[in-house]
Structure 1
Amino acid sequence: MTDLRQKIKQIDDEFSKRHIDLDPGGYYIIYVDRENQLICAKHFTNVINDKGLAVDPETGKVIPAKGKVNRTAETLFTGRSAKELCIKVIEENPDCPITMLDHAAYLGREFMKAEMALIQGIEYIQD
């Protein structure tokens, strides 16, 4: 089983290196709230500039992909499972800002990773 895990990790690591277009509808910071046993997703707005970079609509500054950014989330979504969170973010949200199918698929994968981390008591790191 370890060989299969390593093979899948290698495949996923390669796919993580590919170019992706950013969603003009915004981005999500996902984390696990262990105390309340929840998966959380903070939604932030952005604008995509002519170079394809996410920009803070208030300041006009590029939002870095790594590191701490002091911004206020537009909305906080929480769920006890990946499925519940997907339903809240996409199906029950009449103002769902997700405009790209690959972004929706990415969120589903990340919500599942967060759910597994919550169940297994391991660290969750958003890809």
Structure 2
Amino acid sequence: MKTVEQLDKKLSKRYINLDPGGYFIIYIDSSQDLICAKYFTNIINDKGLAVDPESREVISVKNKVTRNADQIFTARSAKELCIKIIENNNCPITRLDHAAYLGREFTKAELALTQGRKYIQD
């Protein structure tokens, strides 16, 4: 029987359709006790890859990309952050699987923040 950690690693490697509404870079600001989510718009091309709407270049997941965030959301808890983003009249999330992923990541970030650990986005 697989452990939860083994199952999580396997599930993290599966193919997912990207959200045409955009993507988030999540991090914690320990000095302010905040979970932060930088939101970026994108376009999904015919190959299913995220493309910068301005440069029309594919956004690399392996190399650091320097872009200005369209919006930055901050909160003290995962729940507060979800409410700020999802209950916003202009919610940028268009896929349920993306919303579920963000909820999981915000919870991981909250745990890391409250336990004084490092957070790495999956």
TM-score normalized by structure 1? 0.93
User: How far apart are the structure 1 equivalents of 2:62 and 2:96?
Assistant: 23
* 1:36 and 2:32 matched: yes
User: How far apart are the structure 1 equivalents of 2:3 and 2:111?
Assistant: 19
Aligned residue among 16, 21, 25 for 1:20: 16
* 1:99 and 2:94 matched: yes
Aligned pairs for 1:1-127 (under 5 A) are: 7-91=3-87, 93-127=88-122
User: How far apart are the structure 1 equivalents of 2:13 and 2:66?
Assistant: 26
Q: Which AA in structure 2 matches 1:110?
A: E
Where does the alignment leave 5 or more consecutive residues of structure 2 unmatched? none
TM-aligned CA deviation for residue 72 of structure 1: 0.5
User: How far apart are the structure 2 equivalents of 1:111 and 1:66?
Assistant: 22
Identity %, equivalent residues: 68
Higher helix share: 1
Structure 1 SS opposite 2:106: helix
TM-aligned CA deviation for residue 97 of structure 1: 1.0
Give per-residue Cα distances to partners, 1:60-79, cap 9 Å, x unaligned: 00000123111000000001
User: How far apart are the structure 2 equivalents of 1:110 and 1:66?
Assistant: 19
Where does the alignment leave 5 or more consecutive residues of structure 1 unmatched? 1-5
Alignment length (residue pairs): 121
Q: Which AA in structure 2 matches 1:122?
A: R
The residue that corresponds to 1:3 in the other structure is none
Q: Which AA in structure 2 matches 1:96?
A: C
Aligned-residue RMSD, C-alpha: 0.9
Give per-residue Cα distances to partners, 1:1-31, cap 9 Å, x unaligned: xxxxx81110100100110000000000000
